[in-house]
Amino acid sequence: MSRILTGIQSTNIPHLGNILGAVLPAIELSKQPGNESLFFIADLHSLTTQKEAAQRINSVNSVAATWLAFDFDTQKNLLYRQSRIPEVCELTWYLSCFTPFPMLANAHSFKDKSGRLSDVYTGLFTYPVLMAADIILYDAEFVPVGKDQVQHIEITRDIAQKFNGQYNQEIFVLPQAKVDESVMIVPGTDGQKMSKSYNNYINIFLPEKELLKVVKTIVTDAKTLEEPKDPDTCNVFKLYRLLANETQISEMRTNYMKGGYGYGHAKTALYELILSKFEKPRIRYNELMNNTSLLEKELQVGEEKAKKRAQEKLKQVRSVLGF
Ligand code: ADP
Ligand code: TRP
């Protein structure tokens, strides 16, 4: 059996890029027989950038509702809020005493983020130690992440190895990053990588009218309706292709190339495809967001299971450390 673990920060509402690039591949992995998945909402990590409580609460609900809307099986697996298992903070302290300072100072992500901020807080610096604790607290073997997070998994392995080495015992499992090279980079409405930081994202859970408005903002060139168009350089087509079946793709490709088919038509087709493709998740997501007590119940089931495991692991760690 493989134990898979991953976290999504609660800094926003998951967008189409997050869903196609992270949520759906992780759900697929969780459905393989024999796998057990621990998916959590990294709300403690979100405090490094997000200070607003109300926004965090909304985002936590939204991330949880997204996992559930895409049928994450919470009977077989665990879904939980990081902050509800505070044992992770205790472990972070222990691990920080096994984390060489230069390893954190040299982390790409820290250098990158701190370079762009006027106030750099310690939490941003020790971010990878909390992430290591997230992972090794639950004996995770595989961690599906984007390329930008691979160094954090290497740091996790180094810390775990140092700890195990010090006490000459296999206390912690050494996790492996699982980077799916086949996962596409989803373009945003401006053609750059879709990201909440670029404000070019599509929130597929929006009400119909608002969703259509966003789809209409996708940037295209200025070709007239009559002119033939190149599908492969068009942002609307690039997004359509990620969601459509083979027949739909080849039909739209033909329409582009023969002319008499405008970008407005293509955008409407993309909008309709989003509605039909995500019909069920859209309904489920909105049900959960309008009934957060249901969401709360689902999360608490996962948190009870996560807590038990965390407590067992910490008992072992404390005893090894002489506390
Ligand atoms: P954002 O760039 O919006 O801040 P995050 O960095 O929080 O997104 O990413 C969360 C997860 O979603 C990561 O696993 C990341 O690889 C994936 N992801 C984010 N944007 C995209 C995208 N445009 N295409 C594919 N995957 C993406
Ligand atoms: N740092 C990850 C991100 O920004 C989120 C995260 C926190 C995480 N803890 C984790 C991912 C543990 C995997 C495992 O995407």
Domain count, the chain: 2
- Which one of 47, 149, 179 would you pick to mutate in the ligand 2 pocket, going by the greatest count of ligand atoms within 8 A of its CB? 149
Residues 77 and 136 in one domain: yes
Which residue's CA is the nearest one to ligand 1's atom 9? Answer: 18
Query: What is the side-by-side order of every strand in the sheet holding 78-81?
Result: 78-81, 35-42, 2-9, 142-144, 176-178
What's the pLDDT at 200? 97
Q: What pLDDT, on a 0 to 100 scale, did the predictor assign at position 147? A: 87
Q: Is residue 201 part of a domain?
A: no
Confidence (pLDDT) at 131: 98
244-260 tens-digit pLDDT: 999 999 999 999 999 99
> Is 130 part of any domain?
yes
Q: Is the pLDDT of residue 215 over 90?
A: yes
Are 10 and 153 contained in the same domain? Answer: yes
The pLDDT value given to residue 241: 96
From 93, 12, 85, select the one nearest 49 (Cα to Cα).
12
Same domain, 48 and 155: yes
pLDDT tens digits, 41-86: 999 999 999 999 999 999 999 999 999 999 999 999 999 999 999 9
Tokens representing 323?
């506390």
> Do 81 and 170 share a domain, yes or no?
yes
Domain that holds residue 256: 208-277
Residues 18, 144 share a domain: yes
- Residue 72 domain-assigned? yes
Residue 144 in contact with ligand 2 by CB distance below 6 A? no
Q: Is the pLDDT of residue 183 over 90?
A: no
Q: Any idea what the CATH number is for the domain that residue 238 is in? A: 1.10.240.10
Instruction: Say whether pLDDT at 218 is over 90.
Output: yes
Model confidence band, residue 181 (pLDDT cutoffs 50, 70, 90)? confident
Residues 196 and 14: their CA atoms lie apart, in Å, by 9
Q: Give the CATH number for residue 38.
A: 3.40.50.620
Same domain, 56 and 140: yes
Mean pLDDT of the chain: 96
Ligand 2: which residue has its CA nearest to atom 6? 7
